[in-house]
A and B are shown apart, each in its own frame.
Chain A
Amino acid sequence: MGGVKGLRTDSVEGRPTEDAALVERSKNGDQDAYGELVTRYQAIAARTAYVITGTAADAEDVAQDAFVKAYYALDRFRSGAPFRPWLLRIVANEAINRRKAAGRRPTVGLSVVEDRASGDTALSPEASALAQERREVVLDALRKMREEDRLVIAYRYFFDLSEVEMAEALGVARGTVKSRLSRAIARLRAAMEGDQLHDA
């Protein structure tokens, strides 16, 4: 299947044992323990929300709402299950619902931090310009994709989730992660090529 090489099949990221202890304490009403989980996962929660909402302010709101909802949903959380993908599922649902409820335009306003000191310094000016051009084409295509497809791509390429985590975070069987991902990549390519045809 194209575009899905390198999908990590090892187990779960994060610190599952410590998470489990923190979750148990949180279930018993220990808000400090929950605060520790929030601190631990606030970055990836906000990033996940951002990939869907496309604005940083919305993403922070979504992350906050999702953590509050997750706290009240902890009694439905299966003890011993990994916390991070479970949380991401709540974050993604919250972000998608909010975006749909707000009736946003189909194109999302994702943006990049440019002029970032990076590996590009090792590239020739031509190669660097080409890399930037490619990023723009891909970003533009991503902006037009369905939230769900963008999310799959982000989990794999931006956040490097393992296959197990992706299945959990997407709420699908492990066996369907690869096909979801390759479909999303195919749509990404179609969106990129559509653009180029349009421009040509």
Chain B
Amino acid sequence: MTRERMTEQELDATLADLGERLAYPRPTRLADAVSARLREPRAGRWWDAVRSPRYAFAPLVATLAVFALVIVLAVPGARAAASDFLHAWGIDIFRVPAIATPAVSPSPRSGLGALTTLADARARAGFPVRVPSDPRLGTPDEVYREGPDAGARQRISLVYGQRAGIPISHEPGVSVLVVEFRGTVDENLTGGKGVGPDTRIESLSVNGGRGLWLEGAPHLFFYRDPSGIIQTETLRLAGNTLIWEQDGVTFRLEAQVSREDALRIAASFR
């Protein structure tokens, strides 16, 4: 360490010198990335995207989206009831992240239910709540529970803030979201129906059970509940998503990580 106090000139020179040596990022194709984002529908609530005349859906998917929305609106609680069979019936892309004014951006927490503790969630979920033991995640920062007390249709969400090695999502302060509910994955209806051009969907085996890997832009997905009603579910983060079934419980992991990383995290659920 330099013991003597630097003169003004020495400090100026050192700062100027340092300024030239910092390990700055060197973006070269930022214009392409920005332009791609500007071509997407303006960020907002996803139902704005559904309404947006600028957004050209495949007509089939558009019809289903509106249909499913109407049903969800008309049958309160249907979403919670829909968990017994999870069908990734069709996928399309909606831009969700908050690039508009933050005041109107959807919170990843909105609609997750009531803030609670892990112990409470475990006591009331009605199914064994599993938590990833992957050291990169540690314990969840927030736990939410949705659904009537002591009912069989509970949905538990785990929210993870900033974690080393996992990029932050477009939702400030959230890097990983885990959602768990009783239900099973059915891959019969996943055959790429309505998959948007920027989303890849893949059937795979996770922890010995059936699973789906959704990669690409943020999306809504549709599934059919036990009564055959089409339901929609918004993926909250602008990340990749792994959905799998384990012991009658459906798990959803959203994070901007690779498929291998997601599988590694999934394998650490205890």
Contact = CB atoms under 8 A, between A and B. Distances in A.
Interface stretch (B29-37, B62-70, B106-114, B142-150): B29-37
B75 interface: no
Interface string B254-270: 00000000000000000
B256 to A, nearest CB: 10
Interface in A108-125: 110-114, 116, 118
Contacts of B25: 46-47, 49-50, 56-57, 59-60, 63
A133 B10 CA distance: 12
Interface residues of B, number: 42
B30 A38 contact: yes
Given A56-B24, A59-B25, A137 B1 contact: yes
Interface in A2-41: 2-3, 5-6, 31, 34-36, 38-39
A159 B22 contact: no
Interface in B11-56: 11-12, 14-28, 30-35, 37-39, 42
A63 B30 CA distance: 8
A60 B19 contact: no
B209 to A, nearest CB: 33
Contacts of A61: 167-168
The secondary-structure label for the interface of chain A is: helix
Given A111-B22, A134-B6, A46 B167 contact: no
A59 B79 CA distance: 39
Contacts of A131: 14, 17
A45 B25 CA distance: 10
A98 interface: yes
A196 B3 CA distance: 7
B35 A31 contact: yes
A172 interface: no
A153 B2 contact: no
Contacts of A189: 5, 11
Given A42-B30, A97-B172, A158-B22, 15 more contacts: A6-B12, A34-B35, A36-B31, A46-B27, A50-B24, A60-B25, A60-B27, A63-B30, A103-B162, A133-B2, A134-B14, A138-B14, A157-B18, A157-B19, A185-B11
